[in-house]
Amino acid sequence: MMVQDQRVAEGAEEFDLFKTSFLVRKMEIGVKILEKREDSIRFILEGVSHTFANALRRAIIGEVPTFAVDEVEFFENDSALFDEILAHRLAMIPLTTPADRFELDSLELDDYTVTLSLEFEGPGMAYSGDLRSDDPDIKPANPNIPIVKLAEGQRVTFNAYARLGRGKDHAKWQPGFAYYKYLTRIHISKEIPGWKKIKELARKRKLPVEENEKELIVTTYKSFYLPREFDQYRGELISEEALPYTFVFTVESNGELPVEEMVAIALKILMRKSDRFINELHKLAE
């Protein structure tokens, strides 16, 4: 369903800056948590533009640093996999990253290396939990990730060196995923035959449903698809309204960091980058 064009909310002021028109919103930023799990969070972010929402998304997946294997030294590898394939698999194993020990919101990364070693002989499957770290705070977030299967008599021995990095440099350093959508409301006219079916579908999805004499209003903070039998009513009897400056964020963690830390660190990094940019502008103005 297509989203209708958004209108500028009341209270916005237009002004020209470097011949570009901007909108200044006179409203406070608000956050409402919709759902919180061990490895994910969904929340409503309101009072911000789509450019800020996208900057936050990019900062979460590309700027928040984590530990990941960056180099592997092989001493023995009799497995069916080449050293390069094993090194790639090791790099993609999420490693716990203690936020209380490192300044993860800093624009400069700490120069710290962790060694994870493995000495394994077949027959059997070597898992991420078999890796031995010289730092107990930095270890595989999930001990059940397969690394390599060895036949009888095969051996693999190596040292893997993990360092801090950012997802914008390589996906192995991404702490997880972040995506957002506009918070929308679907207006369904009661003139439509079978509108009660839409009401039941919305309640099954546990979406907020409002109702008056003329229409049904469904607030879609998560995906909601209408059956194809209602396609013919889209436009006049079924319309979708996007709430201006309001977004539904979903953040998922790979296990390196708690989801709350991912969002908080991303916001701090954005603030630090903004401060640096403003300082550079002041230097140019002097």
Q: What's the CA gap between 141 and 172, in Å, rounded?
A: 13
Beta bridge partners of 164: 67
Q: β-strand 176-189 against 132-133: which pairing, if any?
A: unpaired
pLDDT, tens digit (0-9, with 9 covering 90-100), for 88-146: 999 999 999 999 999 998 989 999 999 999 999 989 999 999 999 999 999 999 999 99
pLDDT, tens digit (0-9, with 9 covering 90-100), for 61-95: 999 999 999 999 999 999 999 999 999 999 999 99
Secondary structure class of 166 (helix, strand, coil): coil
The token pair at 61 is 């997946």
List of residues 6+ apart from 117 with CB closer than 8 A: 131, 132, 134, 158, 159, 160
pLDDT, tens digit (0-9, with 9 covering 90-100), for 13-61: 333 333 333 444 456 888 999 999 999 999 999 999 999 999 999 999 9
Running DSSP on this structure, what letter comes out for residue 234? B
Confidence of residue 7 (pLDDT cuts 50, 70, 90): very low
Q: What's the CA gap between 103 and 144, in Å, rounded?
A: 29
Running DSSP on this structure, what letter comes out for residue 4? P
Running DSSP on this structure, what letter comes out for residue 270? H
Q: What's the CA gap between 52 and 270, in Å, rounded?
A: 10
pLDDT at 4 over 50: no
Q: Which residue has the tokens 């939990």?
A: 129
Classify residue 54 as left (phi > 0), alpha (psi -120 to 50) or beta: alpha
Q: Which of 122, 226, 138 is nearest to 184 (CA)?
A: 226
Running DSSP on this structure, what letter comes out for residue 140? B
pLDDT, tens digit (0-9, with 9 covering 90-100), for 209-242: 999 999 999 999 988 899 999 999 988 899 999 9
Question: Alpha helices, DSSP H only, in the chain?
Answer: 50-62, 83-91, 195-204, 259-285
Q: What's the CA gap between 191 and 239, in Å, rounded?
A: 13
Share of the chain above pLDDT 70, in %: 91
Q: Which of 174, 177, 169, 158 is nearest to 90 (CA)?
A: 158
The token pair at 78 is 């009799």
**Cα separations (Å) of 36 from 246, 258, 259?**
19, 11, 9
Secondary structure class of 244 (helix, strand, coil): strand
Q: What angle do CA 69, 67, 142 make, to 5 degrees?
A: 80
CB 150 within 8 A of CB 120: yes
Question: Alpha helices, DSSP H only, in 205-258?
Answer: none
User: Domains along the chain?
Assistant: 13-63+176-253 (3.30.70.3110), 66-171 (2.170.120.12)
**Cα separations (Å) of 31 from 42, 46, 209, 266?**
10, 7, 21, 15
